[in-house]
Amino acid sequence: MYFRINLKLKILKSFFVKFILILVGAIGLFFLIFSNIDYSDGYRAGRIVKVSSKGAIFKTIEGQLEIDAFGAIKGNNQFSQTFLFSVEDNPKLLEELREASLEGERVNLFYKEKYFRFFWKGDTKYIVYKIERTNN
């Protein structure tokens, strides 16, 4: 009888260990897939209002782009929108963003939208990977 109970406990223990390993593997695969594939990509045009570094443990670069809905209207535009974005870790890109922000220059920001927001990649789902300065 002791042998049967011991055998059942070993089988049960083996089942739970396998179940937990499969569960951890599935969760890891989920994060691997959804943190690396893109939902969409595109670009937005406007003027960079803010570029900042945020975070206590995971430092991310965050920015804000002011988009004029109607390009012909200048000045205080009631149709302007704000686009919040995160920046991938690229010192050259960050320097270009800061220069364009300080000069008030109109830019095109190329971004990739992720399925989910991951705290180690940024505060938004929009990750900017390229800037095109229009020199206007």
Instruction: Specify the residue for token string 């830019």.
Output: 107
The predicted pLDDT at position 16 comes to 86
The predicted pLDDT at position 70 comes to 54
Amino acid at 34: F
Cβ atoms of 123 and 117 within 8 Å: the answer is: yes
Rounded CA separation 115/40 (Å) = 9
Average of pLDDT values for 49-72?
82
Contacts of 39 (CB under 8 A, 6+ apart): 113, 114, 115, 125
Report the chain's terminal Cα–Cα distance, integer Å.
Answer: 86
Residue 49 has pLDDT above 80, yes or no: yes
Bridge partners for 44 per DSSP: 109
The predicted pLDDT at position 76 comes to 58
The predicted pLDDT at position 109 comes to 94
Tens of pLDDT along 70-127? 554 555 555 568 999 999 888 899 999 999 988 888 999 999 998 888 777 888 999 9
Tens of pLDDT along 3-48? 666 666 677 788 888 889 999 999 999 888 887 888 899 999 999 9
